Structure 1
Amino acid sequence: MSAPVTVSQARRSVATAGRVVVKVGSSSLTTAEGGLDAGRLDALVDAVASRCAAGSQVVLVSSGAIAAGLAPLGITRRPRDLATQQAAASVGQLTLAHAYANSFGRYALTVGQVLLTADDVVRRSHYRNAQRTFSRLLALGAVPVVNENDTVATAEIRFGDNDRLAALVAHLVGAEALVLLSDVDAVYDADPRTPGARRITEITGHADADGIDTTTTGASGLGTGGMASKLAAAHLAASAGIPVLLAGAADAFHALGKADVGTAFVPTGPRLSARRFWLGHAADASGRLVLDDGAVAAVVDRRRSLLAAGIMAVEGVFDAGDVVELVDLAGEVVARGVVAFDATELPDLIGLSSPNLPEEHRREVVHADDLVPLRH
């Protein structure tokens, strides 16, 4: 275990959170040869059960389904083709769920399996359904175990890795903290295997992570998310007001106890409502609106609605009610929102002030209530 660090406010928030999402990677649960490592899984469950006994509700986002299905199918390395990955997942999900049910059963804790696809987060109605499911499972005292539904997910609709899934789930369930566990025990300023690599104990914003080597991955080759995905997930959660702790799975007891290990991420933005988080970070964007500098300032700095006068160009195909990205003249996404016009309507309206618009079009292109700035 890494040497304990001073417990900051962010770490205290993780340690005392009443509802916490814990994510564990494939390489922390499986062997290089494939198959689950019962000892590692039991150790993780021991730490989660201890946190539950202390009064917290825990949602566990667990990788490992594909890796767990390799050995039973006689596959020696992680497959690259989607069909074989899906086949392995269909076998491995049963193995993983059974292992968790047995392990949590040692503490008389009931497990509920929740398999999600990106569609369940991208579509607003699915998002709300998932919220209700989690809420009821937690109210009934169960431990939800979440994974991407690899048996049906396609390349086009995948989350990409369970780190991002965990960040989205953390907000979806109203978690007060996110703990990312892997075979890397913290964030370092260089590959931790390099002599002189310095451990970073706390990250207060994107600038603190500049220059960090994000190519570090575990040695097993069974996972899909490297340090880049963990940093992205941590920043995503922190930007929405959720403190994050990134630590080694071997340090799970300390990570879910005093939170005095790993790297802590300080919340950098306000806590968003579920709808605004969905709008800003989960929903698919159907197109783009290019804004002039004045419109960017109004939308980002003054939290105003977007009017036609501030739009320079329209990109993509979308209908009124779709989510679109708002970008500045350099192409950087500065906000996302629900557009009030079809893409075919806007070209004749852009650049015009409200008095010069036809009366039926004198309304906000994106209302402030339906708009989430992404640049602070």
Structure 2
Amino acid sequence: MSATRRSVAGAKRIVVKIGSSALTSLEGGLEIEWLDALADAVEARMRAGTDVVVVSSGAIGAGIAPLGLSKRPRDLATKQAAASVGQLALAHAWGTSFARYDRTVGQVLLTAEDIARRTNHRNAQRTLDRLRSLGAVAIVNENDTVATAEIRFGDNDRLAALVAHLVGADALVLLSDVDGLYDGDPRKGDATLISEVDSPEDLDGVVAGSGGALGTGGMASKLSAARLAADSGVPVLLAAAADAHVALTTAEVGTAFAARPVRLSSRKFWVRHAADVQGDLRLDAGAVRAVVDKRRSLLSAGVTGITGRFYGGDVVSLSDPDGLVVARGVVAYDASELAGMVGKSSSTLSPELQRPVVHVDDLVPVTV
């Protein structure tokens, strides 16, 4: 067994993401037998001493059949209507299933804004932590009834990766209708399962597809989420929902993604992956080297231009002379203040404007 699989099997706190296709069908809507089997696997892991947070897709899929729809809706209003119907059914089904074990369920609905805003981010963290401390199962989903195209996570795979870091999880398990990552399309018969992903080089040449009839994810979103979580220091297992019991015991199925050696702090993870970017600072070559290679604070002398309306405390991207984003960070000045500081040495500015534009403690290169 690889070190990554041992980490997943022995994790004391995990996030389990369950895809729409593992819970719903177009013909029958919410499939209770499938959901019960997944609840059984989660309960077994919890009884073994692991804290588990469930990120459950399926709200829109669960609302399709009751509303008489023949396929997943494409327009936002119908998606939100289906979610409003399906969310009730989904929460009730999870509650009923875990009630077989006298286990209480708590529903936590999040939007991208809840993660992007630091205050909301901390509130969600406290709620999830308290549910777990009380022995309840937190069932997390995107709040599809109010989320718009502009403020969506895009899919629950990314939400699961963000929640894994939010709760300080030791592992993330992604369960759906696929049994792992392949180097091509397994439906064509010539693809090979990739059992272990230890570095980005292991993904060279991999082609990932988009979602199916019931979900918004697909292999592309799962791969993106796995890399996001692994980058933050959380090992990931991608497996089929049908293999949930194995995935949540020995972890000897699917594809395992090794975590980066050093885990990002909560603040730096938020800056890099969760916060909304309010503007961009263009840097000269020397400033790029200082920020990326030497891990130094960004000073006003290295800034050649700014775009966007932002205020001190907002997150901005930092770009090289060609416009390629090389880092993100918390800016210390409003855009109006910074406009008059561009390219100037700190020693030529008034004392209140001599602090770094972005301090190294609030700066995260995007290539690491």
TM-score higher than 0.5 here?
Answer: yes
Distance 1:314 1:70 in 2: 46
Distance 1:363 1:269 in 2: 32
Deviation track 1:340-374 (CA, whole Å, cap 9, x = no partner) reads 11112223322222222233321100011211222
Which amino acid is the alignment partner of residue 349 of structure 2? L
Distance 1:89 1:188 in 2: 31
Which of these residues, 155, 161, 164, is aligned with residue 167 of structure 1? 161
For residues 197-346 of structure 1, what are the structure 2 equivalents within 5 Å? 197-215=191-209, 217-218=211-212, 221-268=213-260, 270-346=262-338
Which residue in the other structure is 1:31 paired with? Answer: 25
Deviation track 1:59-93 (CA, whole Å, cap 9, x = no partner) reads 00000001101111111111111111111111111
Q: In structure 2, the residue corresponding to 1:314 is in which secondary structure?
A: strand
Which residue in the other structure is 1:365 paired with? Answer: 357
Distance 2:50 2:62 in 1: 28
Give the deviation of 1:327 after TM superposition: 1.6
Q: In structure 2, the residue corresponding to 1:286 is in which secondary structure?
A: strand
1:111 aligns with 2:95: no
Which amino acid is the alignment partner of residue 373 of structure 1? P
Distance 2:185 2:308 in 1: 40
Distance 1:274 1:132 in 2: 14
Choose 296-305 or 316-325, whichever is displaced more.
296-305
Give the deviation of 1:272 after TM superposition: 1.8
Q: Give the TM-score normalised by the residue count of structure 1.
A: 0.95
Give the deviation of 1:269 after TM superposition: 5.1
The answer as to whether partners of 2:26 and 2:65 remain within 8 angstroms in 1 is: no
Choose 234-243 or 318-327, whichever is displaced more.
318-327
Which residue in the other structure is 1:182 paired with? Answer: 176
1:9 aligns with 2:12: no
Distance 1:19 1:318 in 2: 37
Distance 2:258 2:180 in 1: 15
Choose 307-316 or 90-99, whichever is displaced more.
307-316
Which amino acid is the alignment partner of residue 141 of structure 2? N
Which residue in the other structure is 1:157 paired with? Answer: 151
Distance 1:256 1:329 in 2: 47
Structure 2: state its 5+ residue gaps. none
Distance 1:297 1:12 in 2: 38
Deviation track 1:120-160 (CA, whole Å, cap 9, x = no partner) reads 10111000100110110000000100000111111111111
Q: In structure 1, the residue corresponding to 2:29 is in which secondary structure?
A: coil
Alignment RMSD: 1.3
Distance 2:161 2:152 in 1: 15
Choose 339-348 or 128-137, whichever is displaced more.
339-348
Which amino acid is the alignment partner of residue 230 of structure 1? K
Choose 98-107 or 163-172, whichever is displaced more.
98-107
1:147 aligns with 2:141: yes
Distance 2:321 2:241 in 1: 43
Give the deviation of 1:216 after TM superposition: 5.6
The answer as to whether partners of 1:69 and 1:89 remain within 8 angstroms in 2 is: yes
Q: In structure 2, the residue corresponding to 1:181 is in which secondary structure?
A: strand
Distance 1:332 1:204 in 2: 26
Which residue in the other structure is 1:81 paired with? Answer: 75
Distance 1:91 1:212 in 2: 37
Give the deviation of 1:39 after TM superposition: 1.4
Which amino acid is the alignment partner of residue 76 of structure 1? S
Identical-residue share of aligned pairs (%): 65
Deviation track 1:193-213 (CA, whole Å, cap 9, x = no partner) reads 122211101112222222212
Which of these residues, 99, 119, 124, is aligned with residue 130 of structure 1? 124
The answer as to whether partners of 2:26 and 2:61 remain within 8 angstroms in 1 is: no
Which amino acid is the alignment partner of residue 35 of structure 1? G
Choose 107-116 or 164-173, whichever is displaced more.
107-116
Q: Give the TM-score normalised by the residue count of structure 2.
A: 0.97
Q: In structure 2, the residue corresponding to 1:144 is in which secondary structure?
A: strand
The answer as to whether partners of 1:238 and 1:269 remain within 8 angstroms in 2 is: no
Distance 1:322 1:315 in 2: 13
The answer as to whether partners of 2:296 and 2:360 remain within 8 angstroms in 1 is: yes
Q: In structure 1, the residue corresponding to 2:69 is in which secondary structure?
A: coil
The answer as to whether partners of 1:240 and 1:269 remain within 8 angstroms in 2 is: no
Which residue in the other structure is 1:4 paired with? Answer: none
Structure 1: state its 5+ residue gaps. 1-6
The answer as to whether partners of 1:177 and 1:243 remain within 8 angstroms in 2 is: yes
